[in-house]
Structure 1
Amino acid sequence: MVDFDMEIAGPESFLKNRRFGSYFDASSELNLNPPSEVAVREEKLEEMKKADAFVDDDGIVAVLVSWIRIVVCFVSMMFTTFIWALIMLVLLPWPYQRIRQGNIYGHVTGKMLMWILGNPMKIEGSEYSDERAIYISNHASPIDIFLIMWLTPTGTVGIAKKEIIFYPLFGQLYVLANHLRIDRSNPRAAIESMKKAAQAVIRNNLSLIIFPEGTRSKDGRLLPFKKGFIHLALQTGRPIVPIILTGTHRAWRKGSLHVRPTPINVKYLPPIRTDNWTADKVEEYAEMIHGVYVKHLPESQRPLL
């Protein structure tokens, strides 16, 4: 059975440490006492702690500044959401213009929120950021939402469960912006919703943005991918552009109200063609793209074996 549980919306880490020993020292001695598995694991944990050390300032001043930033983000987002909701109401007869305005809202609001949070950022592969494609991204932090709002091209729609309309203000703006919703009440309804979504994408020449993990990772490590984005690729023929987000899970951890000044890296990978894909290889395609993420994410964000 196809799992359509998806959430809207993919480098090397700034924090990844490598230990370089001397080539000559390593090659001139024979190590008769290799480290045990436990010792290796403890060493890796110690390196990860060192990588996190500079962002773990939990002093009163740091926490207070973080709370102020979050409050300013919330108030600013409510203001822009209210303004664009009025614009959407005026544009009710013009669905595509509402999509376009929804993207402009995302560009303005997302960039503004990232500026308020103040994290150092590096963006790579931006030449692939204006394709008509299915954009996918790993998801481990609320910051991911801000980045996706900012960085996806005009003419992009998200896909969410139909219940999003009940989210205060943001859910109503989502619907006004003419983004797509799916009915997950039963498999038949989900399949029909996906077909309609694919038809809307083709008819209006749109791009899609999806978090293929279907939920936010608790520790930043990549979760298994749902298959819905593969089915959408099969139905639309759109290429898939992976967006790799690194560092966001350290910058704003799940369940925390402390935003740390961790560097963030955004990397677009080249589009992956899907127009020659076949429906009998859905699992294979999902595993292949999951493997692309595993290859490009730092060790601290890869799945545990």
Structure 2
Amino acid sequence: MESSGASSFLRNRNLESFLNASSIDTFGVSSKALAKEEVGYRPRTDGYVDEDGWFSELISWIRIVTCFLSMMVTTFIWALIMVVLIQWPYERIRQGNIYGHVTGRLLMWILGNPIKFEGLEYADEKAIYICNHASPIDIFLIMWLTPTGTVGIAKKEIIWYPLFGQLYVLANHLRIDRSNPTAAIKSMREAAHAVVKSNLSLIIFPEGTRSKNGRLLPFKKGFVHLALQSRRPVVPVVLTGTHLAWRKGSLHVRPAPLTVKFLPPVKTDEWTADHIDEYVEMIHDMYVKHLPESQRPHSSNAATRNNSVS
């Protein structure tokens, strides 16, 4: 959990500071560390029980529509900013991160889920951040929490996602070609080169897709290839409860408690290309250890089943 000093600091921040370029460098995760009062944090010791019924459905729809409209507004505003900064690629990355900080924080406030944070001291590294993925809420949290100077990596087809995809490209985030292994490996090399050249961090979902039931899927190898080529440490970010809060294929958002846990950085300086499978399994096992039983894969050997590149 964050210190009381960080909480006090954040309580005195306002939206204006998000947009102030002079404060961008201090807006990493530790300073975003989220005053408990602002995110509706409440310690939970009881088990979570689904809240169904027409009133719960109505509240859920109101939250979703409000999220959508809010995201449309912030996306439009930052798209204009990106167009103005079209000649300055790194500034577009910084503004893309500010967009994520503002939008992600706003959306989580609208949804109102209680959130517990752990390991925030590991959240300001120049690193490859990886995250398990089981809900749209994962995207909101990662947008909010990754430090300034972080780029995402997604399939090249993201450009066709209305408005958000175009902003993703304008923000100078990275895209990879997953049409075949050769193209994927080449894309990974180019992504690693861009990360090192511009001294950036990177965020990637190693499962490659969203889990349908919250259980951890096998990890693909892309994050290890990126680590080998960039020598960035790997920081696992473990999310729990998001699959209960917003289930795949559902439009009912529930007030399930969430946990965001940053694990200590895993150094990659001595990693070698002939042990890729071992590194994938090692990191996957870290997630298995830190996830609750309901989110663990049925087999702890699942990490070795998928040998895709990305």
Q: TM-score, normalised by structure 1?
A: 0.82
Q: Which residue of 2 aligns with 1:153?
A: 147
Q: CA deviation at 1:100?
A: 0.3
Unaligned runs of 5+ in 1: 1-13, 18-50
Q: Which residue of 1 aligns with 2:19?
A: none
Q: 3-state DSSP class of the match of 1:243?
A: strand
Q: Which residue of 1 aligns with 2:243?
A: 249
Q: Deviations over 1:203-225 (max 9, x none)?
A: 00000000000000011000000
Stretches of 4+ aligned residues off by more than 4 angstroms: 14-17
Q: CA deviation at 1:192?
A: 1.5
Q: Which residue of 2 aligns with 1:224?
A: 218
Give me the whole-angstrom Cα distance separating, in 1, the residues matched to 2:289 and 2:181: 33
- Residue number among 148, 152, 169 corresponding to 2:163 in the alignment: 169
Q: Which residue of 2 aligns with 1:58?
A: 52
- Higher deviation after alignment, 178-187 or 59-68: 178-187
Q: CA deviation at 1:186?
A: 2.5
Amino acid at match of 1:168: P
Q: Deviations over 1:235-269 (max 9, x none)?
A: 00000000010111111111111111111010100
Q: Give yes or no for the alignment of 1:140 onto 2:134.
A: yes
Q: Cα RMSD between the aligned structures?
A: 1.2
1:96-111 alignment, distance < 5 Å = 96-111=90-105
Q: CA deviation at 1:183?
A: 1.4
Give me the whole-angstrom Cα distance separating, in 2, the residues matched to 1:65 and 1:190: 42
Give me the whole-angstrom Cα distance separating, in 2, the residues matched to 1:237 and 1:16: 40
- Change in Cα spacing, 1:252 to 1:15, as seen in structure 2 (3 Å) is farther
- Residue number among 204, 208, 211 corresponding to 2:205 in the alignment: 211
Q: Give yes or no for the alignment of 1:124 onto 2:127.
A: no
Q: Which residue of 2 aligns with 1:191?
A: 185
Give me the whole-angstrom Cα distance separating, in 2, the residues matched to 1:124 and 1:57: 27
Q: CA deviation at 1:189?
A: 1.9
Q: CA deviation at 1:58?
A: 1.1
Q: CA deviation at 1:16?
A: 8.7
Q: Give yes or no for the alignment of 1:75 onto 2:69.
A: yes
- Residue number among 266, 285, 295 corresponding to 2:260 in the alignment: 266
Q: CA deviation at 1:187?
A: 2.3
Instruction: Name the structure, 1 or 2, with higher relative contact order (CA <8 Å, separation 6+).
Output: 1
Amino acid at match of 2:113: N
Task: Report the structure number with the largest CA radius of gyration.
Answer: 1
Unaligned runs of 5+ in 2: 1-42, 300-310
Q: Deviations over 1:168-195 (max 9, x none)?
A: 0000000000000111222222221111
Q: Give yes or no for the alignment of 1:237 onto 2:231.
A: yes
Give me the whole-angstrom Cα distance separating, in 1, the residues matched to 2:181 and 2:96: 29
Amino acid at match of 2:250: S
Percentage of pairs with the same residue = 77
Q: CA deviation at 1:57?
A: 1.5
Q: Deviations over 1:38-58 (max 9, x none)?
A: xxxxxxxxxxxxx45x2x111
- Residue number among 253, 263, 277 corresponding to 1:283 in the alignment: 277
